[in-house]
């Protein structure tokens, strides 16, 4: 199946997925947390999978079946592997723009040093680049790359691309308990991501069964710590922990407001009290959410922060 959805996405609204990699899973990485499954073909060589005209035709047929309410906000390449391994990706992106919809591509960033990949990705409207590790050792442990790849070359490729890309750029960091969830990695990543200057840096945890059974998501305290370190660097960071709330601000419904905001980023105690005051609500609301284990308190630098308790949703 080439197209699927649209599916709800906090990053992209309604997203019509496009799988431009045929089975079996083909990727330049074999990430320990991958929720698509094991990499069966690991390669760095680009090849043709589907002809761009076929992808264009399938997307057109899919769009014709959708009513206005379900029409997508984005056409998104999210593949059974790494989408940039498709040598026709750039041609497909340009063809799809005939639908007058923005095109997003979610990539692992491993091939941006390649001129052909770089040029293809410049055609996209929205790009998410993977940034899991701030050093080579962790990169190998978390992403299990092809031996043909070089860490410094990849980092330089990301920096070169992101300094020239004119569309909307995001980064995504998957946090694994006991692997890349330490402050040293967070500080190194924050320095790199600050240089990349994304519109948003997403901090994610696995929400579906990963390829390696030993993998566990980082804790809420760790997510809070990572967010604080990024925030100190003036990086706009948000959580991707499985919650796809459509509202993240003041709505007048105190329960929804607290749950939606804390799903995106930690909420400091004084901010929470201010929100309660706006909603004319008592602190008992917060105590109720804590008793229901929908939110949890995390302490950072002596201050209380409230976070959505994602463990119940896994």
CA distances 154 to 28, 40, 47, 130, Å, are 12, 22, 20, 11
pLDDT digits (tens, 9 = 90+) for 115-128: 999 999 999 999 99
Residues 278-296 have a mean pLDDT of 85
CATH architecture of 3-240: Alpha-Beta Barrel (3.20)
Q: Is there a common fold for 3-240 and 257-313?
A: no
SS3 158: helix
If you average pLDDT over residues 218-243, what whole number do you get? 89
pLDDT band, residue 244 (cuts 50/70/90): very low
Tokens read off for 86: 């498709």
Which pLDDT band, with edges at 50, 70 and 90, does 313 fall under? very low
- pLDDT on residue 213: 76
Structure tokens at 62: 């899919």
Alpha carbon distance 311, 314 (integer Å): 6
Q: pLDDT tens across 30-56, in order?
A: 999 887 778 899 999 999 999 999 999
**Does the domain formed by 257-313 have CATH 1.20.120?**
no
Query: Distance between CA 295 and CA 288 in Å, rounded?
Result: 9
pLDDT: which is higher, 246 or 226: 226
Domain range list for the chain:
3-240, 257-313
CA 183 to each of CA 177, 215, 226: distance values in angstroms, whole numbers, following the listed order = 12, 19, 7
Helix (H) and strand (E) counts in the chain: 10, 13
The helix/strand/coil state of 298 is strand
Q: What is the 3-state secondary structure (H, E, C) of 109-135?
A: CCCCCCHHHHHHHCCCCEEEEECCCCC
């Amino acid at each position: 199946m080439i197209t699927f959805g649209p599916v709800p996405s906090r990053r992209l609204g309604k997203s019509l997925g496009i799988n431009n990699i045929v089975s079996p899973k083909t990727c330049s990485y074999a990430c320990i947390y991958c929720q698509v499954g094991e990499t069966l073909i690991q390669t760095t060589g680009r090849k043709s999978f589907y002809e761009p005209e076929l992808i264009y035709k399938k997307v057109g047929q899919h769009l014709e079946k959708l009513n206005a309410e379900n029409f997508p906000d984005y056409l998104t390449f999210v593949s059974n592997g790494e989408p940039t391994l498709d040598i026709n990706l750039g041609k497909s992106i340009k063809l799809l723009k005939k639908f007058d919809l923005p095109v997003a591509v979610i990539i692992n960033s491993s091939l941006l040093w390649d001129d052909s990949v770089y040029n293809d990705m410049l055609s996209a409207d929205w790009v998410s680049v993977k940034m899991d590790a701030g050093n080579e050792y962790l990169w190998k442990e978390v992403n299990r790359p092809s031996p043909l790849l070089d860490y410094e070359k990849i980092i330089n490729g990301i920096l070169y691309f992101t300094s020239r890309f004119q569309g909307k750029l995001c980064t995504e960091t998957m946090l694994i308990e006991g692997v890349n969830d330490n402050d040293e990695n967070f500080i190194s990543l924050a320095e790199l991501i600050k240089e990349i200057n994304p519109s948003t840096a997403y901090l994610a945890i696995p929400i579906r069964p990963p390829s390696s059974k030993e993998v566990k998501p980082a804790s809420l305290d760790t997510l809070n710590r990572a967010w604080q370190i990024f925030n100190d660097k003036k990086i706009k960071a948000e959580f991707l922990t499985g919650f796809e709330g459509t509202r993240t601000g003041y709505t007048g419904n105190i329960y929804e407001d607290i749950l939606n905001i804390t799903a995106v980023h930690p909420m400091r105690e004084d901010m929470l009290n201010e929100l309660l005051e706006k909603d004319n609500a008592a602190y008992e609301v917060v105590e109720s959410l804590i008793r229901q284990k929908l939110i949890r308190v995390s302490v950072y630098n002596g201050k209380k922060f409230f976070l959505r308790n994602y463990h119940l949703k896994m």
